[in-house]
């Protein structure tokens, strides 16, 4: 069982120009740099899985799932210079970002 103190931060990105492979590469590289932030316990970079059920949204281009050891660790991540640089360098690539944060329901 996972610790109830974990903080899950899941971000979905929709690119302005999803047909541009350079934009895909730039965002992927940017997301990889975020993995260097020390307050992150683990992370996953994903793309739509290709599953086909009515409840699944596959319209996004990338997902960024981050697991923190506490809500405070997520707060540290938000102000980390690496995160700030990522937003500055990659923010022009997306037209939409959707964030889902959750904590344990124990």
**Domain ranges for the chain:** 8-101
pLDDT at 81: 98
Q: Answer whether residue 74 shows pLDDT above 60.
A: yes
Query: So what's the pLDDT on residue 5?
Result: 80
Convert the pLDDT of each residue in 59-72 to its tens digit.
Answer: 999 999 999 999 99
Q: What is the pLDDT of residue 26?
A: 97
Q: CA 82 to CA 77: how far, in whole Å? A: 9
pLDDT tens string 79-95: 999 999 999 999 999 99
Residues 12-41 have pLDDT tens digits of 999 999 999 999 999 999 999 999 999 999
Residue 55 main-chain phi, psi, to 5 deg = -90, 0
1-17: b or e for each residue (b if 16 or more CB lie within 10 Å)? eeeeebbebbbbbebee
Q: Is the pLDDT of residue 4 over 90?
A: no
CATH topology for 8-101?
Answer: Alpha-Beta Plaits (3.30.70)
């Amino acid at each position: 069982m996972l610790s109830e103190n974990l903080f899950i931060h899941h971000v979905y990105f929709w690119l302005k120009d999803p047909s541009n492979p350079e934009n895909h590469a730039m965002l992927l590289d940017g997301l990889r740099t975020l993995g260097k932030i020390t307050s992150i316990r683990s992370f996953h970079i994903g793309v739509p899985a290709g599953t086909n059920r009515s409840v699944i949204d596959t319209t996004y281009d990338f997902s960024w799932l981050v697991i923190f050891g506490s809500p405070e660790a997520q707060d540290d991540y938000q102000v980390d210079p690496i995160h700030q640089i990522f937003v500055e360098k990659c923010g022009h690539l997306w037209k939409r970002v959707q964030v889902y944060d959750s904590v344990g329901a124990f």
